[in-house]
Amino acid sequence: MASRLLLLPFLLLLLSSIAAASSPHKGKLKEKLSHLHFFFHDVVSGSNATAMRVIQPAGALARSFFGIVTIMDDPLTEGPDPNSKPVGRAQGMYAATAQDELGFLMAMNLAFTAGKYNGSVLTVLGRNQPLHPVREMPVVGGSGLFRFARGYALARTHWLNLTSGDAIVEYNVHVMHY
Ligand SMILES: *[C@@H]1O[C@H](CO)[C@@H](O)[C@H](O)[C@H]1NC(C)=O
Ligand SMILES: *[C@@H]1O[C@H](CO)[C@@H](O)[C@H](O)[C@H]1NC(C)=O
Ligand SMILES: *[C@@H]1O[C@H](CO)[C@@H](O)[C@H](O)[C@H]1NC(C)=O
């Protein structure tokens, strides 16, 4: 019994040194703030649609589209022109979760495909009222260069076709990461 108790401090020391050695961020944790600016193209109409309704309840309210769920794989580009340099895709969904106005729950991965962020992803989960001038949505995490990310995205409608629902949205994302 006594010899087992003596072993305990050595075991604890061993375990803590193993934990320290296996942490890839040990000794080089330096948080930085990055700003990303791009345009998001939500095409819901035509043969090249990048977003489609997957759930549409029979009783969907015309004023709010409450209950409608749309899945998207929307291109992200450097400029407002859809043919400008692609920088990634917004993959996820938006669900109309407000009854009295147009208001979406947005759940999406911003998967970057250009420059140093190629292969890195930011995950956004928040509330988006598309008819408001500016919408703020939390960035809740990320991967690749965006590990441990947290921050916010500001969305402003750059162009909207009220008939078709197609939209081009300017995004400014401010994110803390390592
Ligand atoms: C769809 O994309 C193709 C290829 O880029 C293009 O030729 C066609 O005009 C597009 N159709 C519409 C309706 O935009
Ligand atoms: C992004 O990374 C992928 C996979 O490594 C590679 O195939 C692709 O060419 C890269 N794209 C750019 C624009 O660097
Ligand atoms: C808006 O959408 C409607 C319906 O798809 C289309 O007929 C019209 O040309 C579009 N307007 C513009 C400016 O793209």
Mean pLDDT for the chain? Answer: 89
Q: pLDDT tens digits for 167-176?
A: 999 999 999 9
Q: pLDDT tens digits for 9-48?
A: 555 555 555 555 555 555 677 999 999 999 999 999 999 9
Ligand 1 neighbourhood includes 46 CB (under 6 angstroms): yes
Give the model's pLDDT for residue 22.
56
Q: What does the block give as tokens for 71? A: 């899945």
Q: Say how many Å lie between the CA of residue 78 and the centre of ligand 1.
A: 20
The total of structural domains in the chain comes to 1
Q: Choose the residue to mutate in 43, 164, 168 for probing ligand 3, maximizing ligand atoms within 8 Å of C-beta.
A: 164
Confirm whether 4 is domain-assigned: no
Confirm whether 117 is domain-assigned: yes
**The model's pTM:** 0.85
Pairing of strands 51-55, 69-77: antiparallel
Q: Choose the residue to mutate in 41, 45, 48, 50 for probing ligand 1, maximizing ligand atoms within 8 Å of C-beta.
A: 48
Q: pLDDT tens digits for 75-108?
A: 999 999 999 999 999 999 999 999 999 999 999 9
Q: What does the block give as tokens for 8? A: 């305990």
CATH of the domain at 144: 2.40.480.10
Q: Say how many Å lie between the CA of residue 115 and the centre of ligand 2.
A: 8
Give the model's pLDDT for residue 13.
55
Residue nearest to atom 1 of ligand 1 (CA): 48
What residues make up the domain containing 164? 31-177
DSSP structure string for 102-119? --EEEEEEEEE-SGGGTT
Angle at 64 between CA 42 and CA 55, to 5 degrees: 65
Confirm whether 7 is domain-assigned: no
